[in-house]
Structure 1
Amino acid sequence: MPTEHPPSPWHRGEREIHDRLGVSERMEVIGPKVIRDFMPDQHRELFTKLPDIFVGAVDGDGQPWASIVEGEPGFIRSPDAAHLAVGGLPDIGDPMGTLLVAGTPIGMLGLEFHTRRRNRMNGHVVAVDRTGFSVEVEQSYGNCPQYIQTREAVSSLREPTPAGAVEALDVLDAEAAALIAAADTFFVATYADPDALGRQVDMSHRGGRAGFVRVEGNLLTIPDFSGNRFFNTLGNILATGRAGLLFIDFRRGDVLQVTGAASIDFDSDRINALQGAERLWSVRVEHAIRRRGALRRRLMFKEYSPNSLMTGLWGPVPHTHQRA
């Protein structure tokens, strides 16, 4: 009897990058094995231990937003392998708050900073009430601990976000630029609209040595280091040209959410300006939200991921032109 092959989890943007880099055959074999339509028990267990979860969704203008929802450990439950129930909601002033309605496609990332464990889940919101929301799984998969900097909690506050702490920015001011330029970690929401599967939103993590994000006015340039070759984030950018980023000041609890047009640089000489970069991608910020003291937890940096130590900081950037 012929064996039925599971469907490929990759959409057009991801396949295009796989083809470009010569890994298509390998990824067509790997993809169905590691990307599931349910959560394995170890993934469910990790989510239930976390004090926060990173989420991504898309607004009515097609702008993706990345955010974080906090609670006490145990505020996330997994009633079965196909569902997560989050006992918390985004803060007032968070763009994510208006996006969580039944039927909304959503990306979720669980990350345990002190162990560098992380799991990703894409799905859609099935219910929302005054205390939280529930999500049905469409894709679930784990990621290796590459480029995750180890952090430990040093305190947890219970005060609400101060009134008037939400600031809307159309241009990155000096304070926002400094936060981004000093970051060793951020989170990114992207999406694609494959016809057969409907909208897929992905929430991912990026890390490097502090200063790995280059800030030039409203233009952010980010290196793409060697990874798992899934290219979920870059495949989505290739498909839709949009990205939403979340930067956190872990000491002060400030968050900066930005969204805008995104593009990928596969071939220019600018790639050589950063040690370890295989490609570059950029986001031209169109909207930003800053919320001061928004987070309860304060985290202390402990150590760089070994992979991050293999990457350098930005050097002189050559004039952009295509390689021969």
Structure 2
Amino acid sequence: MAPRRHPGERAVRERAGLSGRAALSDDAIRAEIPEVAAAFLAERTWLVLGAVDAHGDPWCTLLRGPAGFLRATGPRTLDAAALPGAGDPLDAHAAARVGLLAIDPLTRRRMRVNGVARPRPGGLRVTTDQVYANCPKYIQKRHPRPVPPGRRGAPACGTRLSAEQRSLVGGADTFFIATSGPDGDADASHRGGAPGFVRVHSPTRLSWPDYAGNAVFNTLGNLWSRPRAGLLFPDWETGAVLMLTGSARVGWEGTSRTVVFDVGRTVSVPGAGLLAPGEPGYSRFNPPTAPASPEGAPR
């Protein structure tokens, strides 16, 4: 049975003029884990996790492990033999609504899993509510590998982007975003484009265009209902990660969309990510990066 959509998702679909196309995408979403999805998950060595912390702020983080650390143990049960690291904003031990994204940049395949995570010895057990694949658009082709053991550093926290962090964000071709809906369901998604598609307007404001996808609109629908988001920017050169949480809103020009994000808190963790140095194989779907607007930051 296709999932029921909350008012924010329905509103965005109607505003974008894609309600009919979105309904077709809904037909591919199931609560159970298909065999092809279970096989794909079992091959992964990292996973994007999105959830809301005890303060109600969404965050996006990474789980890592050897192939097999993700395992479907039942029709609607996924076990992850990994936990967020010490000092991670999602380093908690209570049940939580989570959004998971398993992605293979080398083959440009990705799988979304949303559900409820409960702690288990050495990891998490997720009861799935939504399982579905996404199209390969905007995924840059690269082969991430684990950071060598012992390279993880202490988290550094702040409320503004440093010059180094602004450089990382402004040159990014990939980031991940976590949101939650009005009923508390969490979601994690991928965003990609040519370097420079994320605009850094100030130490506390970013924006990026929302490119055409599968018209499900989990992310934008959640932002319509609850304008908060968590972002994760990998540093493929050093293996560090930059996590941000803050407010996000969608600006419309006709049916075109831009997301404006205002930074609330930042967490940077050396060695907590993945290594894939060098230029990737850029997606042929990446639109050209538009020149910076002379008006500066969106209002």
Gaps in structure 1 of 5+ consecutive residues? 1-5, 269-276
Equivalent residue, structure 2, for 1:271: none
Supply the distance in 1 between the matched residues of 2:221 and 2:283 (Cα, whole angstroms). 25
Q: 2:262 aligns with which of 271, 284, 292?
A: 284
> Is 1:210 paired with 2:187?
no
Structure 1 stretch displaced more, 152-161 or 15-24: 152-161
Supply the distance in 2 between the matched residues of 1:108 and 1:243 (Cα, whole angstroms). 15
Q: 1:128 aligns with which of 120, 131, 137?
A: 120
Equivalent residue, structure 2, for 1:171: 160
Q: Using structure 1 for the length normalisation, give the TM-score.
A: 0.86
Equivalent residue, structure 2, for 1:39: 33
Q: 1:306 aligns with which of 275, 284, 298?
A: 284
1:1-324 → structure 2 map (5 Å cutoff) = 6=1, 8-31=3-26, 33-98=27-92, 100-102=93-95, 104-129=96-121, 131-153=122-144, 156-162=147-153, 165-194=154-183, 199-217=184-202, 218-267=204-253, 278-295=256-273, 297-300=274-277, 301-308=279-286, 311-317=287-293, 319=295
Shift in Å, 1:313: 1.8
Aligned-residue Cα RMSD (Å) equals 1.9
Give percent identity, aligned residues only.
35
Supply the distance in 2 between the matched residues of 1:264 and 1:169 (Cα, whole angstroms). 25
Shift in Å, 1:132: 0.7
Conserved 8 A contact 1:41-1:81: no
Gaps in structure 2 of 5+ consecutive residues? none
Shift in Å, 1:154: 5.8
SS class of match (1:96): coil
Supply the distance in 2 between the matched residues of 1:21 and 1:151 (Cα, whole angstroms). 32
Q: Using structure 2 for the length normalisation, give the TM-score.
A: 0.93
Supply the distance in 2 between the matched residues of 1:211 and 1:25 (Cα, whole angstroms). 32
Shift in Å, 1:59: 1.3
Q: Which protein has the bigger helix share?
A: 1
Supply the distance in 2 between the matched residues of 1:246 and 1:64 (Cα, whole angstroms). 11
User: Structure 1, residues 169-216: CA drift from partner, whole Å, max 9, x if none?
Assistant: 11111011111001000000001023xxxx210000000001110001
Supply the distance in 2 between the matched residues of 1:30 and 1:250 (Cα, whole angstroms). 32
Supply the distance in 2 between the matched residues of 1:123 and 1:12 (Cα, whole angstroms). 19
Shift in Å, 1:160: 4.7
Equivalences, count: 295
Equivalent residue, structure 2, for 1:273: none
SS class of match (2:179): strand
Change (3 A) 1:316 1:215: closer
SS class of match (2:33): coil
Supply the distance in 1 between the matched residues of 2:30 and 2:56 (Cα, whole angstroms). 27
